[in-house]
Chain A
C-alpha cells in the first residue's frame, strides 16, 4: 500500500466520525432500551383524543387549538366522543398532566426537542409545591 501512513489516518478518522454514536454512548453510559417514563396524570380518565394519536401528533392538536383560540376566538373543543373541553394548554392539558418536568420535558429532553410553548406560557407550579404553599 502506498502512502500507508496517510491512508490509515484517513480511514481511522472516517471510522471515528461514523462510529460517533457507538463511542459516545459507551462514554456516556446513558443509552437505554427503555423510553422515557411519563408521570401519570393527576386526574381524568382519558385524554381529549386517543393516547396513541397524542403520543405522536399532540403538536398538531396544540397548534390547531392555538389557531382557533387566538385567531378565531373559539374556546370550546368538541372531542369525537362528545365531550367538551376548554382549548387551553394551562387549564386543560396541564390540569391533568400537572408536572411539566415529568411529563412534557421527559420526551422533549430525550429527543432534544425544544418547543416554543413556554416562550409565552408560564409553567404552572407543580402539585407538590402547591401543596406546600397551601399547608403554610
Chain B
C-alpha cells in the first residue's frame, strides 16, 4: 500500500511533466525554473540540516565496543575501531563512507523449525547498497560532461573505463546496469521480506521509485531510438550552471521526465532519509575519538552546580573544630 502510494506519486509527476512540456510555458518551467529552484533548495536545505545537527550538543562520548580502546601500553589498541586520535577517526570515517563498514557487520536472526534460533551474517544489503551508491556516484560524475566546457580528461577516462567492454552501440556503461540491478534488489528486498515490508514506509519506497524512474529515463535516452540530441542537452545543462538558461526545441518528453525526476530528487533530498549523505559525517559513534580515558568530555549543557567542598566547609568551622579537638586538614596556625 505504501509502495503503491509512492509509485502513484512518481507516476503523477511523470505524467504531469509529459503533459506540461507540450506547452512552451511548461517547457520553461520544467526546463529552467524547477531545476534552478531544486538546486537552490537542495544546497540551502543540506547546509541548514548540517548546521542544525551541529548545534545539538553531544552529552557524552559514545564508546563503541567493537575494538580495543587505548589503555595500558602493553594492550594493543585498535585505532580504526576505537580511535585514540583524529587520524584514527578519519580512518574509521573513511571506511564507513567508502565501504559501509558498519553495514558489513549486519547480522540476522532467524527462527527455524524446532524451534531453533539461528544467527548469521546478512551481507546482501551491504553488497547491493555498495553497488548502488558507487555506481550512482560514477553516473553522477559522468554527467558533469554535460555541464562543463571543455570536458576535463578525467571524465573521458572515467567514461572509457565505464564502457570498458565495448558492448553495443552506444557503448553500454556497466554502472547503468549495476545501478538498475541494485535498485531492483533494494526494492524487492522490501517487498519480499515480511519483517521489512512491515517496517517500510512510503518514504522508503519513494526514493527508490524516483531514482528508478531517473535511471530508466536516462537509459531510454541513451540506448533506444527515443534518443535525444545530446548537444542540445548540454546547452540546457550548461545554461543552468552559467545562469544563462536556454530550452532547445529538439528536447522531448523523455528528457524532461529525466530532468524533473532529478529536480524532484534534489527537492526531496534535504527533507528525507536521503540526508544520510550528510548525516553519516555527523554520527557520534563514528566521528568521536574513543579517548574518554585520556580526555574528559564535558557535557556542554551541564548546568553550573552549586558546590560546597570540604575545604570550604572546614574554613567555615575551623575554630569550632579546633576547640572540639577534631582533626583538621589545615591547622589554625598554618592557615
Q: How far is the CA of A60 from the CA of B170 in the complex (A)?
A: 8
Assess whether B150 is in contact with A28, with CB atoms less than 8 Å apart. Answer: yes
- The contact of B246 among A33, A57, A63, by CB within 8 Å, is A33
Assess whether B149 is in contact with A31, with CB atoms less than 8 Å apart. Answer: yes
The answer to whether B58 has its CB under 8 Å from any CB of chain A is: yes
Assess whether A11 is in contact with B160, with CB atoms less than 8 Å apart. Answer: no
B-chain residues with CB within 8 Å of residue A4 when the two chains form the complex:
54
**Chain B contacts with A in 138-178, Cβ cutoff 8 A:** 144-145, 147-152, 155-156, 159-160, 166, 169-170
Assess whether A2 is in contact with B43, with CB atoms less than 8 Å apart. Answer: no
Among residues of A, the one whose C-beta sits closest to the C-beta of B39 is A18
Listed stretches B75-83, B189-197, B208-216, B237-245; interface member: B237-245
Interface size on B, residues (CB 8 A): 45
**Chain A contacts with B in 86-119, Cβ cutoff 8 A:** 107, 109-112, 114, 116
The answer to whether A132 has its CB under 8 Å from any CB of chain B is: no
Among residues of A, the one whose C-beta sits closest to the C-beta of B169 is A63
Judged by DSSP, the binding face of A is helix
Given contacts A4-B54, A57-B227, A116-B166, is CB(A111)–CB(B234) below 8 Å? Answer: yes
Hey, which bits of chain B sit against chain A, CB under 8 A? 43, 46-47, 50-51, 54-58, 144-145, 147-152, 155-156, 159-160, 166, 169-170, 225, 227-232, 234-235, 238-239, 241-242, 244, 246, 248, 250, 278, 281, 300
Hey, which bits of chain A sit against chain B, CB under 8 A? 1-4, 7, 10-11, 14-15, 18, 20-22, 24-25, 28, 30-36, 52, 55-57, 59-60, 62-63, 107, 109-112, 114, 116
